[in-house]
Amino acid sequence: MKLRKLEIKNFGRFHDKTISFHEGINLIYGENETGKSTIHTFIRSMFFGVKRQRGKAARTDLYHQYEPYQNPGYYAGTLKFESGGKHFRVERIFNRENLRQELICEDDGERLSVEDGDLHMLLGGIGEAVYDNTVSVGQMKSKTDEELERVLRNYMANYQGSQDQETDMGSALASLKMKKKAQEAKKAAAAKNLEEEENQIATQIDYVQDELSHKTELRNETVESYHAERTRLEEDKRSRHAGSSKERRADVGFVVFLVLLLALLPLALFVPKVSVRMSAIAGIAVLAALYLRYKKNRKNTFAPSQEESCGISAERKEEISKLKWKAEDLKDEIQNMEAQLEDLLEKDRDLKKTMTLPTEYDEEIEAITAAMDMIMKIADSMQDVIGERLKGKISEIMCELTDGRYRHVSVQDNFQIELHTEDMVVPLYQASKGTVEQVYFALRMAVMDVLCQEEELPLVLDEVFAMYDEKRMGRALSWLSKNRGQVLLFTCQDREERVLDNLRIPYHKISLPT
């Protein structure tokens, strides 16, 4: 990748400022307070945006630190660069009210997506952490051997193939443990919820089973009552039929009575013989007495049957109908409850099956455990391939930076760094401050070579040689001119320019106005 042009429309102190870069070393000279750090930050912001902090931290975050001096409502810029033989343009508006980011291929006009990772891909897949620790190097502060040792330890121990890790192993493990604990808590809560749901279903099943048993028993009793009432009704019908037969027989006797009466009546009225007439009258009297007794007996015999046929039988028929309806209703209720019970039993079976299956939390816990195991394995084995490559690269760069004085850099199991000359081993704590800075520079460049293999990125250096003497600076600049395609070197001194001229190293100078 090569940076071609910055169009700083409104960012910090700059307004409508255009800066063009060339291949090789670009020497950006400016006195203090001329905007070197602003340009440095602008380049990073065009790649990764400007993240705003919350709360008190927002007062001093990058967003507010580089908010435009003039017209702060317009906070924007453009960066043009080359990657993979094509020319691209990234445009950003940083205002929180009108945040916008666009990535365009200038060769064919294709609009790419920053959100979908197209810019990340053009950067070779690196993230902000790797960029800040390799590609973009701020002004170096003198580091003690313990600080440098910690940096080297983290770089060599944390690298696992992802290209964006700078976190200490201890912090990474602590973070993973917290995540694992959180997942285990979620798993326990989910299991408790399932158990409570199962208990609720079991309670519902018990209730429905009890109700079903009660309804079934009640229906059986209702059906029995229905059949008993039907039987009694049939018996009543037969009884009434028998009463009707007696009544018919009584009616025949009444006819006979009338015939005899008609036979005796003429004798009593028209026969002259007194004895015959008296006998006829006596017979009529007997018949009259018999008739009155018959009438009385018939009234006593058949009156209850008529009442029963008109009243009692109707009530029984109504009661039988009610029993029939009740039995049918109970049958429907029982069928519905049986279906409800089957649904509950099926839910209970499914729930019990679910409780035996692995959950999403189990998968997450397993993944976290595997990650923790991987970190521990890497921590236990410092002689892996990446570690060897890093140490080899550091040694190669240090050899050139020191003109062959230190041919090899080794890291012991306790992370003690040692510099090897041709005939002796020098512990880092015995080296000069300038040598410590060289080791730190070599470490940065080695990590960049290892982590940024997908795309060679421009190197942005801000006052990195402040602690170097001119010999060390010359060797570092020579190494950069041969090993880096594009370097942006910010400085407030003329030493870099003088050394470049003395060594006849080509460069493009950009002077920032005071």
pLDDT of 419 reads: 93
305 and 432 inside one domain: no
14 and 113 inside one domain: yes
pLDDT of 282 reads: 67
242 and 386 inside one domain: no
pLDDT of 261 reads: 60
Worst-scoring range by mean pLDDT, 72-86, 88-102, 260-274, 499-513? 260-274
What is the rounded CA–CA span in Å between residue 115 and residue 113? Answer: 5
191 and 314 inside one domain: yes
Residue with tokens 């081993």: 425
- pLDDT more than 90, % of the chain: 29
66 and 151 inside one domain: yes
- Which contacts of 58-67 are long-range, i.e. CB under 8 A and separated by 24 or more positions? 63/94, 63/96, 65/12, 66/11, 66/12, 66/38, 66/41, 66/42, 67/12
Listing DSSP states for 159-188 in one string gives: -SS-S-----HHHHHHHHHHHHHHHHHHHH
Mean predicted confidence (pLDDT) in 356-374: 82
Check pLDDT > 60 for residue 145.
no
Domain membership flag for residue 33: yes
What is the rounded CA–CA span in Å between residue 80 and residue 299? Answer: 126
pLDDT of 458 reads: 93
The overall average pLDDT reported for the chain is 80
Three-state helix/strand/coil letters over 211-253: HHHHHHHHHHHHHHHHHHHHHHHHHHHHHHHHHHHHHHHHHHH
Domain membership flag for residue 370: no
Mean predicted confidence (pLDDT) in 246-250: 55
Domain membership flag for residue 393: yes
User: Per-residue confidence at 208, pLDDT binned at 50, 70, 90?
Assistant: confident
126 and 270 inside one domain: no
Worst-scoring range by mean pLDDT, 20-29, 39-48, 268-277? 268-277
Domain membership flag for residue 22: yes
Domain membership flag for residue 259: yes
pLDDT of 28 reads: 96
Mean predicted confidence (pLDDT) in 197-223: 84
User: Per-residue confidence at 311, pLDDT binned at 50, 70, 90?
Assistant: low
pLDDT of 347 reads: 84
Check pLDDT > 60 for residue 248.
no
pLDDT of 174 reads: 83
Check pLDDT > 70 for residue 163.
no
Helices (H) and strands (E) in the chain, counts: 13, 14
20 and 138 inside one domain: yes
pLDDT tens, residue by residue, 477-500:
999 999 999 999 999 999 999 999
pLDDT of 511 reads: 95
Domain closes at, from 361, 390, 424 = 361
Check pLDDT > 60 for residue 243.
no
Domain membership flag for residue 502: yes
355 and 399 inside one domain: no
pLDDT of 30 reads: 92
pLDDT of 295 reads: 67
218 and 256 inside one domain: yes
Domain membership flag for residue 372: no
Instruction: Choose the most confident range, by mean pLDDT, from 100-104, 150-154, 243-247.
Output: 100-104
pLDDT of 195 reads: 86
* Torsion, Cα of 381, 384, 389, 391 (10° steps): 20
Mean predicted confidence (pLDDT) in 250-259: 58
Which parts of 297-445 are beta strand (E)?
Answer: 408-411, 417-420, 425-427
User: Per-residue confidence at 162, pLDDT binned at 50, 70, 90?
Assistant: very low
CATH code for the domain of 285: 1.10.287
pLDDT of 241 reads: 62
What is the rounded CA–CA span in Å between residue 35 and residue 111? Answer: 31
Domain closes at, from 305, 329, 361 = 361
Check pLDDT > 90 for residue 294.
no
pLDDT tens, residue by residue, 389-436:
778 888 999 999 999 999 898 877 666 788 999 889 998 888 888 888
Angle between helices 495-502 and 470-483 (to 10 degrees): 70
What is the rounded CA–CA span in Å between residue 44 and residue 280? Answer: 150
Helix (H) or strand (E) holding 487: strand 486-491
pLDDT of 141 reads: 44
Domain membership flag for residue 170: no
Alpha helices, DSSP H, located in 452-505: 470-483, 495-502
CB 25 within 8 A of CB 490: no
Mean predicted confidence (pLDDT) in 313-341: 78
pLDDT of 222 reads: 81
Give the DSSP letter of residue 142: P
pLDDT tens, residue by residue, 451-474:
777 778 999 999 888 888 999 999
Mean predicted confidence (pLDDT) in 87-102: 92
100 and 230 inside one domain: no
CB 18 within 8 A of CB 5: yes
**Residue numbers of the domain that contains 220:** 178-361
User: Per-residue confidence at 109, pLDDT binned at 50, 70, 90?
Assistant: very high
Mean predicted confidence (pLDDT) in 355-369: 82
257 and 290 inside one domain: yes
193 and 325 inside one domain: yes
The domain total for the chain is 2
Mean predicted confidence (pLDDT) in 222-247: 71
Mean predicted confidence (pLDDT) in 131-141: 71
CATH code for the domain of 424: 3.40.50.300
Give the CB-side neighbour count of residue 112, counting CA atoms within 13 A: 18
pLDDT of 303 reads: 45
Domain closes at, from 301, 332, 361 = 361
Listing DSSP states for 250-315 in one string gives: HHHHHHHHHHHHHHHHHHHHH---HHHHHHHHHHHHHHHHHHHHHHHHHHHHHHHHHHIIIIIHHH
